[in-house]
Chains A and B, each alone.
Chain A
């Protein structure tokens, strides 16, 4: 019996495939608006959600999604209104999330082992009801991330411009935050809450090494995410280690390879096509012609009677209505 015939492995692979697609998809928008760590923050907050589910006996996926959407909305609100103290407010939310989670888990009387499966992912815990939720959520995220691509791109690229084209910027920002929260919950089972942000950011960073356009970055990042997730799950089964860590280590290895290849490609492209001089210099006078004073027997200096004039980095001497400057062993007309 191969691992692909095991039902829990089939579920884990389907969940992994969808996580590998949706995390980099939303991650591309987060990286573009320079909010790479937002996924991390939401992951921390989701820990409280999972703990709340365990404490109240509710399905942890549902409580996690509700708490992380609330947290993501709070982060977006703080970001939009808070300005300077935004990062501090985010940090407070992160710490609150993880501390709240650990406290609630303690109250629920469940040990570190249960929490660990949510923190770092686990192959065997994806139940069939989990799988339906994961598929539904991941498909919704992908449809929005691709269908509203041009609008989301504009908002992440230049928020002010997006507002003046009449886009509902606040609504779209909130949509990105909610999609990030949903993705965190989707990825919780395979990658785990502490490493989910890595799957949002690392494939995008990897893709960027070799891409030039937003669209190709998006597609390449999704392909890398899927590869890392599926390969990670299979390795995790064979080596009996936590899938989250395996997936992230594989994704990071991909980054190292891409960064090296990208550097080599750029270096080669730079050598074959040197930077062309496409900006003609306008209004800058060319260098003055170099005129050597013919037969100049006299050496100017501190002692001579000729008037000294500062001229940039050197001194000119006024000599019969000309300016003379020392240039090596002779005198130039300036």
Chain B
């Protein structure tokens, strides 16, 4: 531990508000219960991986935590405030699950990252010097500083994902929520944002990430939560066997080809 981190947030007393508190949460998507009675507490400074197969409800859980989906029953609190009343969004950095960062009109890497500062900007106010410095810093962290003027649509999938991570980091959030950050991303990019996230974790940022495959992030995880059919079936320290529990096919080359061709 470096001496600069004088008060590790993980060592806060239990009375401090939890970064995330999910109580008896059920979520209904089009008449189907996707989450059933989920209870989850995440302390400030923890790094938690939410694992599970497709359809286990892990993305639904993340989206409900950030308020994109309504709870059918139960409650989500962020830093002690129920989500429908939560207004301190500048404390949250969110990386949505997506394939592309591009819209119908070209936009540069710089423009996309700067939209991460909106939770701190007032209406009709120009971007200040501090904001510009924050954007440069976030671009440097994900190793995209020399691509700032490039259109995001022209970047590879891994680079686009790095832009989205920079957009979440630029507001210096206390809680970082990532939905499948490594899906479809090359290993070099995975390594770059594992490093970016490690740097934040050392500064006490709480991280919640959903993943199929943690890749280089594996080493950062303090705790893993495994969902199956909308319920938490494991919540505890990560083990190799548990982080791989969601893998249905073996990576043995011979079986792999059989699995693909059958």
Chain A contact residues, CB within 8 Å of chain B: 28, 31-34, 36, 147-148, 150-151, 153-154, 156-158, 160-167, 204, 208, 211-215, 217, 279-280, 282-283
Contact = CB atoms under 8 A, between A and B. Distances in A.
Question: Main SS of the interface on chain A?
Answer: helix
B87 A213 contact: no
Contact of A154 (B118, B127, B186): B118
A33 B89 contact: no
Given A163-B67, A163-B68, A164-B66, A213 B107 contact: yes
Contacts of A153: 107, 111, 115
25 contacts: A32-B105, A33-B103, A36-B104, A148-B124, A150-B114, A150-B115, A150-B121, A153-B115, A156-B103, A156-B104, A157-B112, A158-B98, A158-B101, A160-B94, A162-B118, A165-B116, A166-B118, A212-B108, A212-B150, A213-B106, A213-B111, A213-B151, A214-B105, A214-B108, A214-B111
A164 B67 contact: yes
B247 interface: no
Interface in B148-180: 149-151, 156, 158, 167, 171
B188 A164 contact: no
Nearest to B155: A278
Contact of B115 (A31, A34, A154, A160): A154
A215 B126 CA distance: 14
A166 B150 contact: no
A150 B107 CA distance: 12
Given A156-B103, A164-B94, A212 B116 contact: no
A33 B106 CA distance: 11
Contacts of A158: 96, 98, 101, 103, 115
Contacts of A280: 188
Given A147-B124, A208-B106, A212-B106, A164 B115 contact: no
Nearest to B191: A282
Interface in B87-140: 87, 89-90, 92, 94, 96, 98, 101, 103-108, 110-112, 114-116, 118-119, 121, 123-124, 127
A214 B188 CA distance: 28
B187 interface: yes
Given A157-B103, A208-B106, A282 B112 contact: no
Nearest to A29: B105
Contact of A164 (B92, B111, B158, B189): B92
Interface string B58-97: 0000010011100000000000000000010110101010
A213 B149 contact: yes
A212 B110 CA distance: 11
**The 8 nearest A-B residue pairs measured at CB:** A166-B89, A154-B115, A164-B94, A282-B187, A32-B105, A165-B119, A213-B108, A214-B107
B127 to A, nearest CB: 8
B85 to A, nearest CB: 12
Contacts of B151: 212-213
